[in-house]
Structure 1
Amino acid sequence: MTGLRYVYAVCRPFGTPLQAELRGVMGAPPALLHHHGLVAVVSTVPEADFCEDALKAHLEDLDWLAATARAHQGVVDALTTVTTPLPLRLATVFRDDSAVRTMIEAREDDFRRLLDRLHGRVEWGVKVYLEPGAAEPEPAAAARPASGRDYLRSRRRQSHEQEERWQRAERFAHRLHERLAERAEEFRMHRPQNAALSGSPGQNVLNAAYLVPRAHSEEFVELVDRTKDEEAGMRVELTGPWAAYSFSGEVSGTSSAEGSGSSSGAESGARAGAESGARAGAESGARAGAESAAGPGEGR
């Protein structure tokens, strides 16, 4: 069976070995490809599953996409414990090791610049949700509005109360973000998640990523924990530490001269699925990736 080289990330050489039992995409163990003082973390995947036509079909298969996303993220997570990786997009593949080396040479300056900037730093994700309001009981027959005017007045009151809750949530999210941004070196504001795709209850008010030095991560986490109960009806979710996905877009956001295969939508699906940890979350992340995928390619 013909194999392609799947690339998870690029990093500098590191001395601590990865776990012997670590497995990547399609169950293949990751390997280290050294070139020009950099390391590409790779594994071999079947061409039948990762050629261009096959990837287009797989992007519609939520189970396959979710499993691939989890395996990809598992390797990146393992790397994050021993070094600072630059994650590449989900399903970045090349014809062989020679093509991977060519990619490294073409992007060498970018890789080194980003590795210098991100060294010793991790990404933390923070989301704020406005919890669903308690459903009003169905009024008894005797308590039903006496007229259409009373009914409209009641509906306006409910709408006003919902608007007030939303404004309060936005103010809370803004205050929290300002505090966290002061403790972070950089931040990225992401589009609020669609509840139908994420599977999380409530309305997503804040969806942000923060770049934090490892040495200051404990303080950052404590700050988030202290604010969780400040406002009733709000839910704060903290995820991480992650590799700096949101801050290495210069790498994952463009294709190499060799035509590295991936889609930005698929990568966001990988993140969403990996953050959730559960099957339902992985599938919702995969669905988001599939719906926004620009279309895969293949390194030659």
Structure 2
Amino acid sequence: MSKIADRDQTNTMLPDTSPGIYAYCLTMTPVAFPHTMTGIDGMHKVYSVEQDGIFAVLSNVSLQEYNEETLEKNMTDVTWLAARAKKHEEIIEFVMTNNLSNQNETSPSSHSPSLHISSSFTKGSMGEKEWGGESEVAEKYYTPVVPLRFCTIYKNLEGFFKAVMPHKEKIISFMNYTSDKLEWSVKVFCDKTVVMNNYDRNKEQSPFANQTSLLPGEAYLLKKKARKVQEERFRIDLQAYLKDIDYTLSLYTDRYRFLQCTNKSIHNRSLDMIMNAAFLVEQQALNAFKNTLDKLAEKYRDEGLVFGVSGPWPPYNFCPAL
């Protein structure tokens, strides 16, 4: 018996160290996990448990480490949080792309709907997926899932299914609804320097451009007023750009949702994030969605806008409340 199994057995026998249940996602398709795949704690194995046609993807965790008090403290530790959030995401993605239909290289059966995509997105560093127009990745069937929130933990299986099964119809309905859809993230960043330089190049259009013979104090105030006018023009133009981007992309998506923009310390770019949105895209609309993004990126390149696109992701932002 392995050390992990011994530890699990010991935890079961001692109430004060008994393992809890960490939940990653729900699906309607069985998944076989490698023996080497461990859960969020890097120790316990990942497994699935089926009840009434719903498969829950789980792993055991120590309730000494994953209790409310300890988690509240660890959530402020960026290193602890990043590593475990990445692991949480990787396991859900494994479920999406490694159902038994994929493993057997067969088409998905009628009772386990999956999304078939030939994607031109490649997997980059740290799990981030980026637009990769030059390379094609293997075709895959994406199994619909209901991703659960990071650190969804129960004391035992009974408590978990007691919380989940009252929502059975809602869960199945959502997975059927997303069987041909996946979530894509679109972020728009702005290089304000480029925009303001464009305004400066067109300063002959400014009502303040032809002022001459001004005293130093007057020149300073006039320059300050001109900058204020440019700032207001920048704000108005930006709203028009975003309205156009929003409307154009919405034509090729089933649903979309605007999310909070993050600051530079989080997104690690030198530019300001001005749009952060999630789009639920149908398989048949994916190429049109991609081509539209390419056109928008080209259209607004000279306006100082930069597009960041990633996916496919589990439908985090469209899941029903459980």
TM-score normalized with structure 2 length: 0.69
The equivalent of 1:84 in structure 2 is: 144
| Deviation sequence 1:118-171 (CA, Å, 0-9, x none) | 2221011111121131699xxxxxxxx952221122122223223323322322
Percent identity over the alignment? Answer: 20
**8 Å CA contact 1:128, 1:237 repeated in 2:** yes
Matches within 5 A, 1:1-300: 1-14=17-30, 17-18=32-33, 21-27=36-42, 28-81=44-97, 82-133=142-193, 147-231=216-300, 232=302, 233-251=304-322
Where do 5+ consecutive residues of structure 1 fail to align?
137-144, 252-300
| Deviation sequence 1:79-137 (CA, Å, 0-9, x none) | 2224111111110001122222222322212212222222221011111121131699x
> In 1, Cα distance between the equivalents of 2:83 and 2:310?
20
Q: Specify the SS of the correspondent of 1:200.
A: coil
Name the stretch that deviates more: 109-118 or 179-188.
Answer: 109-118
**8 Å CA contact 2:170, 2:320 repeated in 1:** no
Name the stretch that deviates more: 81-90 or 196-205.
Answer: 196-205
> In 1, Cα distance between the equivalents of 2:252 and 2:35?
36
Give how far 1:218 is off: 2.9
Give how far 1:226 is off: 2.1
| Deviation sequence 1:184-239 (CA, Å, 0-9, x none) | 11111223323344333323222211111234323312221222121211111111
> In 1, Cα distance between the equivalents of 2:81 and 2:220?
48
**8 Å CA contact 2:171, 2:320 repeated in 1:** no
> In 2, Cα distance between the equivalents of 1:20 and 1:132?
51
**8 Å CA contact 2:33, 2:47 repeated in 1:** no
Q: Specify the SS of the correspondent of 1:157.
A: helix
Task: Summarize the Cα distance change of 1:56–1:17 in structure 2 as closer, same or farther, 3 Å threshold.
Answer: same
The equivalent of 2:4 in structure 1 is: none
Alignment coverage as a number of residue pairs? 242
Give how far 1:9 is off: 0.7
TM-score normalized with structure 1 length: 0.74
The equivalent of 1:269 in structure 2 is: none
**8 Å CA contact 1:132, 1:201 repeated in 2:** no
Higher RCO by CA contacts (8 Å cutoff, separation 6 or greater): 1
**8 Å CA contact 1:35, 1:104 repeated in 2:** no
Give how far 1:19 is off: 5.5
What is the one-letter code of the residue matched to 1:96? N
Quote the RMSD (CA, aligned, Å). 2.2
Q: Which runs of 4+ in 1 moved over 6 A?
A: none
Task: Summarize the Cα distance change of 1:201–1:34 in structure 2 as closer, same or farther, 3 Å threshold.
Answer: same
**8 Å CA contact 2:185, 2:309 repeated in 1:** yes
Q: Specify the SS of the correspondent of 1:9.
A: strand
Task: Summarize the Cα distance change of 1:221–1:163 in structure 2 as closer, same or farther, 3 Å threshold.
Answer: same
As a proportion of its length, which structure holds more strand?
Answer: 2
Where do 5+ consecutive residues of structure 2 fail to align?
1-16, 98-141, 198-213
